[in-house]
Amino acid sequence: MRITWPQRVVSQFLLMQLAIATGVTVLATGLFLAPLGAQLDDQAMRRALAIAQTTASPRIADALLGSPAEPGGPVQSEAERIRRATGAEYVVIMDRRGVRWSHTATSQIGRVVSTDPSDALAGREVMEIDSGTLGRSARGKVPLRDLRGRIVGAVSVGIEYDTVRGRLLAAIPGLLAYAGGALAVGALAAYLISRRLQRQVHDLAFSDIAALLTEREAMLHGIREGVVALDSAGRVRLINDEAQRLLGVGGEATGRPLDEVLGAGRTADVLAGRVSGEDLLTVRGPRVLVANRMPTDDGGAVATLRDRTELEQLGRELDSTHGLIDALRAQDHEHANRLHTLLGLLELEMYEEAVDFVTEVAGVHRATSEQFTERIHDPLLAALLVGKATVAAERAVVLRPAEGTLLPDRLVDPRGLVTVVGNLVDNALDAAAGSPGAFVEVALHARGREVVLRVTDSGPGVEPAQRELIFTEGWSTKALPAHGKRGLGLAMVRRLAERQGGSARVGEAPGGGAEFTVVLPEGLAEPGTSSPSGV
């Protein structure tokens, strides 16, 4: 029958843990038994040597010199007494020729010993495990000296090796009991760890986990939505290709704190969870992003980012188109009224009055256009303000340039300044509409390469507590437009200004209302350089 390896992670982990615990237990037991056997051998040899040293007395030497080698002699009798008293296997006493004077088997008395006694007869003490006529034994040999210290023979004492092995075997059951207990504890720990692992990996197989990781990598780097994963300490754990593109960071962001990667700002606050909510808007460089954040069980979080820059631009263009349509509808109505008036004057043959009426109407429009085109030489910006003036007039708001306004045609980023002026003028028109003597005043000044923009309105102004808050992404006092989000205009104004090293702030106008000031330190190119607007 073929035994197959289990597929589940918990089963594989449990078997591996049990195998490791069993192997460690067997190894530890073997490592303990090996020195234990050597230790028991050493103890037996030292015991045999001690008995031999005790036996090798001058009295035994005198008996050896004064009696023949026979079974009933005094040397044999003393050797047997010592053997029985100490439990030794044998006590052999020999002369200098190696002839036995004592032995457990009396038939061996008078014969030469079977092992080499030269070391003991040379005056050296010997401990060894060896085989003799009585089998394998732990042996100790010492020289036998008389009263004058002369070597007259040797004493050899053996301890039966089976006794040593018996002591070793007797120790094994206790040792195995400890080893079994340790193995049981290890098995229980392995089971508990496996159960915990089973909950954490949802009882998946290793192949399933590997497939999930592969699919996750393919999905994260293939989707067109930015994904940023953070750990519990706020470090970037994962950032996919789209998130790197949207945030303007590289792959080196992984493992670094989020605030260090992105710097201080709303984007870092949103991703770190310091700002709560759904579909939170944030501006990162030139991009408008929508972020959502989902906490994870380990204390971290996963944030998703969507690029809605183009959608926001389309939304703003839609708002502008609606405004333009309203303005054109109002102008069409006004133009029809003027044509009817002119027709009436002609039918009444009031020709001079008709000429004066046409001249007045044309002069008003010409004067409005000339106010901006003579002071603002950049064609894009001048065209924007002329168009805004028409829309303002339809809303009963006067849009005018401030005294001293003069801007040369050397803008570094005319489209960026058009965005800034357009946002500020739109907000000012909304604030000023309906107020007594409604007006919006635009001031543009050049100081060297510095451009200073001021937009003043006759509206209610901005409360001091809200003068910083209004530059936050997503903050607005207006109703939602058709495309669903507001609160990006002033945030983009400040971001565009800061991107050029400038600033954007709001204060109170001298006559009441709000005054927005934008400073661009390097808004103009060097003299002799034309505007990149292409006009």
- The pLDDT, as a whole number, for residue 334 is 62
pLDDT band at residue 228 using 50, 70 and 90 as cut-offs = confident
Same domain, 288 and 393: no
CATH of the domain at 44: 3.30.450.20
Share the mean pLDDT of the chain: 78
Q: How many residues does the chain have?
A: 535
Q: Give the containing element (helix H, strand E) for 165.
A: helix 161-200
Nearest-5° Cα angle at 420, 245 to 532: 75
DSSP for residue 4: P
Q: Is residue 210 part of a domain?
A: no
- Whether residue 173 is contained in a domain is answered as no
Helix and strand tally (H, E) in the chain? 14, 14
pLDDT tops 60 at residue 316 = no
Q: Identify which of 240-244, 353-357, 397-401 has the greatest average pLDDT.
A: 397-401
Q: Are 100 and 108 in contact (CB under 8 A)?
A: yes
Beta partners for 297?
A: none
- In the 8-state DSSP scheme, what is residue 458? S
Find, among 170, 135, 155, 165, the residue nearest to 44 by Cα: 165
CATH assignment of the domain containing 462: 3.30.565.10
Look at residue 1 in the predicted model and tell me its pLDDT: 46
Half-sphere exposure of 110 (CA within 13 A, CB side): 9
Q: Same domain for 289 and 321? A: no
Whether the model pTM is above 0.75: no
SS3 464: helix
Q: Is the pLDDT of residue 5 over 70?
A: no
Q: Is the pLDDT of residue 143 over 80?
A: yes
User: What's the pLDDT band for 155 if we cut at 50, 70, 90?
Assistant: very high
The band of 327, judged by pLDDT with boundaries at 50, 70 and 90, is: low
Q: Regarding predicted confidence, which is higher, 403 or 251?
A: 403
Please tell me the predicted confidence (pLDDT) of residue 534. 46
DSSP states of 120-154 as a string? Answer: HHTT--EEEEEEETTEEEEEEEEEEE-TT--EEEE
Are 353 and 404 in the same domain? yes
Q: What is the pLDDT of residue 486?
A: 45
The pLDDT, as a whole number, for residue 462 is 87
Whether the pLDDT of residue 535 is over 50: the answer is no
pLDDT digits (tens, 9 = 90+) for 438-462: 999 999 998 888 999 999 999 998 8
Q: How far apart are CA 141 and CA 133, in angstroms?
A: 16
pLDDT, residue 156, reads: 93
Q: Among 18, 122, 476, 496, which Cα is nearest to 283's?
A: 496
- The larger pLDDT score, comparing residue 125 to residue 171, is at 125
Which phi and psi (to 5°) does residue 13 adopt?
Answer: -65, -40
Asked whether the beta carbons of 304 and 226 are under 8 A apart, the reply is yes
**What is the DSSP secondary structure assignment for residue 1, as one 8-state letter?**
-
Task: Look up tokens 């050049």; give the residue.
Answer: 446
The domain boundary residue, chosen from 290, 307, 324 = 307
Does residue 70 form part of some domain?
yes
Residue 231 confidence (pLDDT) above 80 = yes
Angle at which helix 9-55 crosses helix 74-86, to 10 degrees, equals 150
Same domain, 136 and 154: yes
Instruction: Say yes or no: 162 and 273 in one domain.
Output: no
Give the end of a domain, one of 137, 167, 197: 167
d(CA 424, CA 430): 10
Structural domain tally of the chain?
3
Residues 328 and 276 in one domain: no
Same domain, 162 and 275: no
The whole-angstrom separation of Cα 225 and Cα 430 is 35
* Domain contains 87: yes
More confident residue, 32 or 102: 102
Q: Judge if 315 and 277 occupy the same domain.
A: no
Sheet with 450-457, side-by-side order of all strands: 398-401, 439-447, 450-457, 514-520, 503-508
In a domain, 145, yes or no: yes
Residue 207 lies in a domain: no
Same domain, 412 and 500: yes
Whether 410 and 514 share a structural domain: yes
- pLDDT given at position 479: 46
Q: Is residue 72 in some structural domain?
A: yes
CA dihedral 69, 72, 74, 80 (to 10 degrees): 100
Domain limit, last residue, from 256, 285, 307: 307
Report the pLDDT value the prediction gives residue 140, as an integer from 0 to 100.
92
Which segment, 10-19, 247-256, 306-315, 476-485, is predicted with the most confidence on average? 247-256
* Residues 285 and 343 both lie in one domain: no
Element (H, E) at 440: strand 439-447
Q: Which residue has the higher pLDDT, 16 or 123?
A: 123
Domain with 505, as residue range(s), is 311-520
Helix axes 414-432, 379-394, angle to 10 degrees: 10
- For 323, residues 6+ apart whose C-beta sits below 8 A from its C-beta are 391
Asked whether residue 337 falls in the same domain as residue 445, the answer is yes
- 412: Cα within 13 Å, side-chain hemisphere: 17
* Residue-by-residue DSSP string for 90-124: EEEEEETT-BBS--SSGGGTTSBPSS--HHHHTT-
Task: Tell me what pLDDT residue 211 has.
Answer: 66
The Cα 153–Cα 121 span in angstroms is 6
Say yes or no to pLDDT of 79 above 70. yes
**Residues 238, 244, 249: CA angle, nearest 5 degrees:** 105
Whether 430 is covered by a domain: the verdict is yes
